Each structure stands twice: as structure tokens, then as C-alpha cells.
Amino acid sequence: MAIDYRQLKKWAFDEQISTYMKDDCIRYALSLGIASNPLDDDDLKYVDEDCTRVVPTFLATVGAPGPWAADPRTGIDWMQILHGEHRMRFYGALSAAGRLQSTTCVGRVIDKGADRGALVVTERSIVDHENGQLLATVEHVSFCRADGGFATTDIPGDEPLDALPATPSVEPDIVVEMPTLPNAALLYRLNGDRNPIHVLPEAAQKAGFDRPILHGLCTYGMAARAILKRVCASDPARLASLSARFSSPVLPGETLRAEMWCVEGGVRFRVVAAERGVAVLTNGVADIRCS
């Protein structure tokens, strides 16, 4: 069964109401390796009993539509999907507990060609359920490796998103190294993403990987961790947006090296698996608010 463009564009997602507590924020921060130095006073504000800070990318894990593309009616080969890009914009600091309303739609379906796959972009808005304040918007780009070639003259598909900026070719201004634990994926999956390719060797091998891989959104969150620490003075309210392309999988236990270039209004960044010298997160851009 091939992708049905019209079916995807009108796909009905249930509106989600999600309640989160302080422990959820703390678990998320710990899964990113925050407070790996338990004597770091700034990091402790994300994980102690008072929990006065919340990593903004926590919202990537709350109210997401789940494995909707696994529904056979989508025509998508679910086991061949990769997370291509993730783009988030934040409108203010989060409280450590709350109730959220998330609304999702399929914004774009892009045909890259019969041998090149397709891109499906879901768009999600997240508001505070109590007062209606917009907290974040999310564009999740799924790379459907086995589903290109659906376009016709009558249904050419959508135009792609504007391209993310290229990673600078000069030496970075800031470098942060962040080890990951061998069981990092087992910890991160407690945030809600239970895809078996992150846990079961046979599932990972079926998807074309030698062993279970780390969640892309964990790498993304770790990039946010580095930027918050070194560029935002550990103030989550200063991170206005975070966008990046997932270029290569991370193996749990690898050291991630975040490389940052300071530009007007923010930073460009990439993340490299240090031991292999492989860029795993590229074309990164973060907008930073003034303190």
C-alpha cells in the first residue's frame, strides 16, 4: 500500500490533554545527563525537590501523537521511518507542573522520488490548558525511506520546509563534551517513546541497525542542554527556538560533542559522536533571547 497524499493531509488526530508533574521534568532532565556532576548548582535546579527550571525540549515528549504512522491506513512503511528534522519554538519558561493541550495536524507531505523516500511534516501547537497561553510549536519531519514516488501530475505533493542553515566550516566558538550511558536509551524511553528499535536488538536489526540506537530526541535534548548551559546562562526562558537535522544514529555509551558557533541572535550548532568522528545532529540553529 502506497502513501495516499489526500488521506494523510486530512488525517484526524485526537486533541490531547496531558498532565505533567515535577517528577516528569526531573526524569527528562536526568535522561539528558543533566546533573551528571551532582555538585553543579545550576544543574541541580533542574532535578532537585524544588525543580525551579524545566528544559524547554521537555515539551517534545508531552502530548505528541504517538506512533500514528503505524496505522496501515497511512500507507507508510512504519519500520522504515527515521526522524529527519525537529524544529521547536518556545514562547516562555515552563512551570514544573501543569496541564497541556496539544493539537496536531499533517502540514506537508513531500515526495523526494521513487528511490529517495518521502517527508511527512506534522505540526503541533502546545498551549496551557488552564489559560490558553501558547507555550510551543513543533514541526516534526519524518523521513519515510520506503515511501517515495507517490506524486502525480494531479497530486504533486507539497513544497519542502525552508532549508536549515548549513553547519559553519570554521572552528567552533564553544565545544561541550557529554558522555552518554550504555543504557541511555532505556532511561530516555521512560519519557514515552517506546519504539523497540531503541531496546530490542532484533527490532533494531530489522530496521537496518546493528544494535539498538539512542532516540534522536535524546540527542536533540542534549544539544539543548549544552546550549542552555553555555549560551543561555542556564536560563530556560532565553531559549527561543531549536531546530536541527538528524544525520546519523547515536549508539548509547558514545560521547556527544556539541559544537557551537555564535551568531547574531543565537547560535549555529552540530553534535558529533566523538569516538567515531561522525556528525549525528547537523544544520542546527537556536534563537536566543537577551537576558
What residues act catalytically?
Answer: 193, 198
**237 neighbors 92 (Cβ within 8 angstroms):** yes
Residue 125 host element (H or E): strand 117-128
Whole-angstrom distance, CA of residue 136 vs CA of residue 280: 25
Spatial distance between the Cα atoms of 81 and 77, rounded to a whole number of angstroms:
7
d(CA 241, CA 158): 24
279 in Cβ contact with 254 (< 8 Å): no
Task: Report yes or no: 71 and 79 within 8 Å, Cβ to Cβ.
Answer: no
Q: How far does CA 44 lie from the centroid of its chain?
A: 23
CA distance 134 to 43: 26
Sequential DSSP letters for 42-108? HHHHHHSSS-----GGGGGSSS---SGGGSGGG---GGGEEEEEEEEEE-SPPPSSEEEEEEEEEEE
In sequence order, the 6+-apart residues with CB closer than 8 A to the CB of 113 are: 148, 149
